[in-house]
Structure 1
Amino acid sequence: MTGVSERISYYVNQILFSESNTASVPSSLVSSAPTTSNSEPLQGPLIPVTVYTHNRTAIIMEIEDTPTATCDLMCQAIISSDELGLNKQLAAQIFTVWMVSPLLELQLKPSHRPYEIRQHWRPLVEQYSHASYNRQQRDEPKLMLQRNVFFAQYLEEKIKDQKILELLYEEARYNILQGRYPCEVVHYIMLGGIQARIELGPYNPQIHSTHYFREEQTKYLPVHVRKSATWTWLPISSKNSAEVRLLEQFKRIPNSATNRKLMKKYLEFCWSLPFYGVENVLVTIYVLDRHFFEGQIEQPVRGLASLMIHQDIPVLVTINSKGIYIIDDLQCTVLLGLRFEEFSWEYARPSKEEDPNCLPCLFIQFLVVENGARVSKILQVFSRQASLMDMLITVFVTQLKSTSDETDKPFDNQTNNENETHTSLAMGTMHTTTLPSLSTKLSKLTLATFDEDGQLHWSDGFLVF
């Protein structure tokens, strides 16, 4: 299997949606998708398509009339491939095809045509990416088989199939190493030790030293937890250094532990995180599902010095069936986490739509108790993808409404009325009644504050003269 994967990978960058390189693919490496009849001639161009998984496997397929082939057809072909060896019925419920690049990640719906979306990738990146123009022009997507964001977590926790658990583990490991699932450093160390045990086998004192983990820490820890690369040449490590703690965690795992149990342990921790399996939706000419939203929030001003160097804070906005989470992308910490019943929201278009630097935004309103009084806080998140966030929140709120027996839940979305303004939101037209129970670091946020009468009293983080 490994040898085949390596040979497949050699062709990956050359053939993805490229007709000119079709002839370079060896027939022995091609998996054919189901067709209506083996004897019928091809009705359209046959273009090799490569789909990756997080366990470093690449599947090359030839699909009849590739430009019109749907995501559902491709997904069936991938799941049916001998290379993955999956339980087809179960895997079809859990996994689907994504189109992923460094700037944008999209979960495709069953009826979408990946080839067509690939042809329109540049406009999507230009519209929704925060990157520079030059970086947008260099952006290249690839197809990935990943977890379907709408697959219920409680069902995932019951899965016992080893190969499916392995794919879920590899995807969770990727998100942990990318810092997408914020948690405490001690938890990152614990997960890194489990990963090392899965990949390296039992502890061997002749190989697995502090020096070894100092050199290999990039494989097991996210960047903000690792020892600074500028100091890795030093021959010593403090007892609290990442490599020492990683080694100790690795050594603690008993030799009797199987990879199956370790992967399940890794996943069980990730399942406990409130933002596991975050989902986002992108709605353009197509309707696509996205993974993480990029945005920025105003940095609180604490004095004249900070006013001089005032810059927005880059954040990731993640939304799942539980609620919304604002994550500091630099510090990898959760700044705000709210369930849907704990907040109201409103999408606002940019005030100067002709100015590319004037971004649309999402207003998030929630209640807190401050000095014994209930006050309303409003956070403004600037993002080119604000409309997409609004769409996804609407999807989940609609689902919650349809499944709830209660008719007085505070799920009033005001985004459908284009005449709604920031003032109407501040005056309390969106009825939020539940106090936040998830993570909040309000001191790190710039928030407008209103009392129960809708009167503005002050704005946290703003410098007042």
Structure 2
Amino acid sequence: MAAFANRVQNGEASSSTSRHPPALHRKPVFPITEIDECVDEHGNLVHECSVLLEKRRKDDRPAPPLSGLDEGDGTEAVSSTIAEPELPLFPVKRPRGKSFDKFIENLFVRAQIKVYLMDYTSIDFIPVTGYECLAREMVDIVIKKRSLDFDQGRKCLAVWFANLTDALEVQLKPHHNPFWIQKYWKYYMQRYSTVLKPNDQTPVVYVRRSIWLPVDVERQVTDHRLQHLLFHEAKSNVLSKRYALSRESVLKLGCLLIFRDNGRYSNTISPQKMQQLHDSMEGYFPSGLFPTQFANIFSSKREDTINEILSAYEMLEIRHRDDARQRYLEICQQDVLYGAAMFHGTVDVPMSLSITSLFSDQNEMSVLLAVNQRGFFVLSSLKAASISAEVLLAFSHKEISFSFREPSEEKAIQNQDTACLDLVVPVSFHNTVDSPTSSCQKRLLHIYSKQAPLIAVCVGTFQRLERAAEMQRREQVINGAENTENVSRRSVVDQPVEEITLVEESVTIPGVTFSSTTTSSTRKSGKLTPARSFAFPQITNRLDMFQFKSPHEPL
């Protein structure tokens, strides 16, 4: 999610903190709002949408859709198919003391949603169909008001719901109703997040890049207004440390932003403008690039960093500001985490690596989980001193097979049990100290997360997309097609996701031979060491930081 750091309402947003470790630091300010007021039969002002948004008296509230929860505890459960409300959504009695025209006008339920875009602007969305609107209509209104290409806009953009701390991010399907998601957002926060006060979390609506958009399709976008939105989203993700970028890439991306705002570097720049440029440096780079004020007292690291930035700024070979925007997008699209959805979870770690093992028997580590078109990634928790995300494990969708275990709804809401995602992944073992040879075997990794069902949906859909594309390539080869590279992926977003079971044969990697059997001696003497990822050679999998099990062992 894009970060609205150091922004206020007229182009910038305020900052806030949370006890939950955020995946990014976006700071929007306004949740969903509603408009138009009417009066009841006693002449008191009430909102027309009070029935939908649960603003009636407590004794008039309908029962929750699912039983088993107390009405007064603030939780309202919802099933996968949300039932219709029992009471009407608009008043049917004529208000006393009001004209007939006002009464007719109040019969029509009207609502307003403040939709945020990634360029720090917002749009007031007033659906024609009232509270029965769909997410597809919201995207169409954004396309119309921003004069975007209709076909390209529908492929690239989607509606997202998120809270202020990004403990939960949800992309809506085109047929989803945003008002129903908003109504039951407290339930979703209790069900799929670990925030301390889920009832105090308000959702924020975004229209941004869809997770199902392939990168090769995005590179074919020609609408410059749509490229402008994608550029600002990539910029916010860089500042939020959502990409696994090197220091050189971070410096180059920041210099491209400086060039876009200030033009080409010049040696004859005035001292006043140079001082302004020094003061605004932190707005172009992640926060971890510059030292804190306390650390800067005892060292000149900030001045050294600024000199390094100016040297990279002087070496830029960009002529126009539009070229800087395009080059910025190209660098971000090459990152393995580009367009990924972020989730939160915990994993088991060896006894020697866990600090908590000295005080308890639980050896766990909080991690971030990223899923996109390229694969599945396990990231370390964000640190203030880091400049980008740190990838601990990286696997392509062809390398892994999975299943997940989900507790009952009541236990999940009350935090009595947590869902578990079981991943079968290839790992490298060094058999003995004297023998430098290594063998690749399949191991089971447990990931404990309340968002495991959401992760399973994303991974399963991407795996099915890859299988569909592979079958289409084979059909073209069989039919004698000459060009088998530019194969369009079929849209299967609205199709139900089939559950993928833990099968040993599903993990196949070209050029890698797996040992057929796993003996007890291999388990005892085998040692996990960091090894390069098979699908991403530029990434080193930190296998020694995780506790793997054999797939044949009981769960």
| TM value normalised by structure 1 | 0.75
Alignment of structure 1 residues 247-326 onto 2, 5 Å: 247-253=310-316, 257-278=319-340, 291-302=341-352, 307-308=357-358, 312-326=364-378
Counterpart secondary structure, 1:369? strand
Amino acid at match of 1:118: Q
Cα distance, 1:336 vs structure 2: 0.8
C-alpha spacing 1:337/1:76, structure 2 compared with 1 (3 Å): same
Cα distance, 1:446 vs structure 2: 1.6
Cα distance, 1:228 vs structure 2: 2.1
Give the strand-richer structure, 1 or 2. Answer: 1
Query: 2:271 aligns to what?
Result: 206
Cα distance, 1:380 vs structure 2: 1.7
For residues 366 and 153 of structure 1, what CA distance do their matches in structure 2 show?
A: 25
Aligned length: 400
Cα deviation digits, residues 123-156 of structure 1 (max 9, x gap): 1111111221x2x233222221201222221121
Asked if 1:78 corresponds to 2:137, the answer is no
C-alpha spacing 1:46/1:449, structure 2 compared with 1 (3 Å): closer
% identity of equivalent residues: 18
C-alpha spacing 1:202/1:20, structure 2 compared with 1 (3 Å): farther
**Contact 2:159-2:208 within 8 A present in 1 as well:** yes
Query: 2:462 aligns to what?
Result: 396
**Contact 1:8-1:59 within 8 A present in 2 as well:** no
**Contact 1:217-1:226 within 8 A present in 2 as well:** no
Cα deviation digits, residues 344-389 of structure 1 (max 9, x gap): 2221235994761532111222223323333222222111001111
**Contact 1:51-1:58 within 8 A present in 2 as well:** yes
Alignment of structure 1 residues 288-437 onto 2, 5 Å: 291-302=341-352, 307-308=357-358, 312-331=364-383, 332-349=389-406, 353=411, 356=415, 358-371=417-430, 372-405=438-471, 416=499, 429=504, 431-434=506-509, 435=512, 436-437=534-535
**Contact 1:375-1:449 within 8 A present in 2 as well:** no
For residues 376 and 208 of structure 1, what CA distance do their matches in structure 2 show?
A: 58
C-alpha spacing 1:207/1:172, structure 2 compared with 1 (3 Å): farther
**Contact 2:118-2:232 within 8 A present in 1 as well:** yes
Amino acid at match of 2:333: W
For residues 252 and 146 of structure 1, what CA distance do their matches in structure 2 show?
A: 33
Task: Compare CA radii of gyration and give the structure with the larger one.
Answer: 2
**Contact 2:349-2:546 within 8 A present in 1 as well:** yes
Cα distance, 1:93 vs structure 2: 2.2
Query: 1:447 aligns to what?
Result: 547
For residues 11 and 250 of structure 2, what CA distance do their matches in structure 1 show?
A: 33
More deviation, 359-368/440-449: 440-449
Query: 1:461 aligns to what?
Result: none
Counterpart secondary structure, 2:417? coil
- 5+ residue gaps, structure 1: 24-39, 279-290, 408-413, 457-465
**Contact 1:192-1:221 within 8 A present in 2 as well:** yes
- 5+ residue gaps, structure 2: 1-8, 15-27, 39-44, 46-103, 384-388, 431-437, 476-496, 513-533
Query: 2:240 aligns to what?
Result: 178
Alignment of structure 1 residues 67-106 onto 2, 5 Å: 67-81=131-145, 84-101=146-163, 102=165, 103-106=167-170
Amino acid at match of 1:66: G
Cα distance, 1:66 vs structure 2: 2.5
For residues 303 and 150 of structure 1, what CA distance do their matches in structure 2 show?
A: 36
Cα distance, 1:267 vs structure 2: 0.9
Cα distance, 1:46 vs structure 2: 1.5
C-alpha spacing 1:226/1:359, structure 2 compared with 1 (3 Å): farther
C-alpha spacing 1:238/1:221, structure 2 compared with 1 (3 Å): closer
C-alpha spacing 1:120/1:379, structure 2 compared with 1 (3 Å): same
Query: 1:6 aligns to what?
Result: 10
